[in-house]
Amino acid sequence: MIIELLKHITTSTPEYVKKMGYLREVIAIEHRFKRCKKEWKEHLELSKQTILDSLFLCTHNKRVVILGSGFLLDLPLRELSNTFEEVVLVDILHMPSVREAVSIFSNVVLITSDITGLAEKLYISRPKPEGSLPQSEPFLPYCDDDCSLVISLNILSQLPIIPSHYLMNDLKWKESEKLLCWSNQIMLDHYKALNHLKIPVCLISDYEMVYIDKKGNEIDRQITVPFLAKAKPYNQWRWNIAPIGIESRKYAVELIVSAFLLEKDKKTVR
């Protein structure tokens, strides 16, 4: 706890990133990874393998852009660095340990950016519950003609989480249909932006959360990304994100993760 607090105090980020909770969330991910290494292993390996599988989509090896690079846990960075002339890692924040880890690769570039274009607007405008909410303006840096492959890496379902927590915890919004639709739209806008690219895309994201009791029985299920629920994936697996004792002593939480390999010209916009 003290280590996490120290990291929060000493890591420098723009004000909105810290105050809205992005830094806290990233520190929590690292902490949870350390506690659940064994349970997360399969998910991390499958994510890495899917990324390597997606290389066949590329028609050149100039640049790969990774959206949601985080702690690089699910990323085969060395292989990508050996394959592409340039590797661009995009995240709303890059922790000092990540900066250090990538410094040994001369062709890896870190871009710090909010890919929804929404967070700072929300932080500055502080919308009231009866007012309107700013819309996302997806920003996919470096995804131009020189880009060979874009990877959206376990980030899609995360995009509305901090913004809606900020609204509920700091601005006293209540859970509502309006908030739910707005959250879904943020995810859909990201998905549409990927679909509009004339570049191959590897999209890895959970779409459903499953709660399992101590006896191994499923007790509840919640959709995290509604429009992915019926899409046919390239691959699918379960991520045992919170074994019993992590989130609750009574149940474990698993995510159902789907991976989509979208060819350059064969994308479907919903």
- Locate the DSSP E strands across the chain: 63-67, 86-91, 108-112, 149-153, 201-213, 218-223, 235-242, 251-262
Tell me the C-alpha distance between 211 and 213, whole Å: 7
Output 75 or 259, the one with its CB closest to ligand SAM.
Answer: 75
Output 190 or 267, the one with its CB closest to ligand SAM.
Answer: 190
Least distance (Å) between residue 129 CB and ligand SAM:
22
Tell me the C-alpha distance between 41 and 38, whole Å: 5
Least distance (Å) between residue 241 CB and ligand SAM:
9
- Give the nearest residue (CB) to ligand SAM: 70
Question: Which residues in this chain contact ligand SAM in the complex, by CB under 6 A?
Answer: 22, 26, 29, 68-75, 91-93, 114-116, 119, 153-155, 158-159
What is the distance between the terminal CA atoms of the chain, rounded to a whole angstrom? Answer: 43
Output 92 or 262, the one with its CB closest to ligand SAM.
Answer: 92
Output 148 or 224, the one with its CB closest to ligand SAM.
Answer: 224
Output 11 or 264, the one with its CB closest to ligand SAM.
Answer: 11
Q: Of 64, 69, 65, whose CA–CA distance to 26 is shortest? A: 69
CA 57, 136, 231: angle at the middle one, nearest 5? Answer: 40
Tell me the C-alpha distance between 114 and 102, whole Å: 20
Least distance (Å) between residue 111 CB and ligand SAM:
9
Least distance (Å) between residue 186 CB and ligand SAM:
9
Least distance (Å) between residue 114 CB and ligand SAM:
4
Q: How many CA atoms lie within 13 A of 33 on its CB side?
A: 15
